[in-house]
Amino acid sequence: MANAKVIQAKQEAVDVVSAKLRESVTTVVADYRGLNVSQVTELRKQLRDAGIEFQVLKNTLLRRATAAAELTELDEVLTGPTAIAFSADDVVAPAKILNDFAKKNEALKIKGGVVEGRVVSLEEVQALAELPSREGLLSMLLSVLQAPVRNFALAVKAVGEKEEQGA
């Protein structure tokens, strides 16, 4: 009877992880071997502050979850100790945080990931990490939208000043 309960618990865990794989806009897979407790704690804090869920999972469980989520191409990077970061909202944040952390802590190795339902390589995760954050992109868009209004205001001001000088 205990065996049935264990199997059911494992199946529920697979279902939860496969749902996260399907629902996340970005998932990043990393090898955390060599990080000490304080480093892992700092990484978890940075991810948690950005609203990203970070878990250490067994590769067997992950392979079953990728099969259920129809993302079996991810299985090739599921070797060694595996940590996985799920983001339901921000596409860039998990890649950026893990990439920045890996630059400071060589023990963390990004393996690959899933972006909007498509399995991506290490290089694609790193390219995603180089993009500006959502706030940065919104700031750029706002600046572009404000430029015509700002230029018009400057032109009106210049005409007004010119007329004042001529009067």
pTM over 0.75? The answer is: no
DSSP, collapsed to helix, strand or coil, labels residue 24 as coil
A 10 A CB-CB count for 78 gives 20
Tell me which DSSP letter residue 91 carries: S
Which residues, other chains included, contact 70 with Cβ-Cβ below 8 Å and sequence gap of 6+?
Answer: none
pLDDT number for residue 84: 92
What region does 138 belong to: left with phi over 0, alpha with psi -120 to 50, or beta?
Answer: alpha
Q: Which residues pair with 83 in a beta bridge?
A: 30, 56
pLDDT number for residue 134: 67
**How confident is residue 42, by pLDDT bands cut at 50, 70 and 90?**
very high
Q: At what angle do helices 93-104 and 122-129 cross, to 10 degrees?
A: 100
Which residues, other chains included, contact 117 with Cβ-Cβ below 8 Å and sequence gap of 6+?
Answer: 22, 71
How far is the C-alpha of 118 from the C-alpha of 140, rounded, in Å? Answer: 27
Tell me the residue ranges of DSSP E strands in 6-45.
26-31
Q: Tell me if 76 sits within 8 A of 113, measured CB to CB.
A: no
pLDDT one-digit tens code per residue, 78-128: 888 889 999 988 888 888 999 999 889 888 899 988 888 888 888 888 888
139: its two tokens: 């700031």
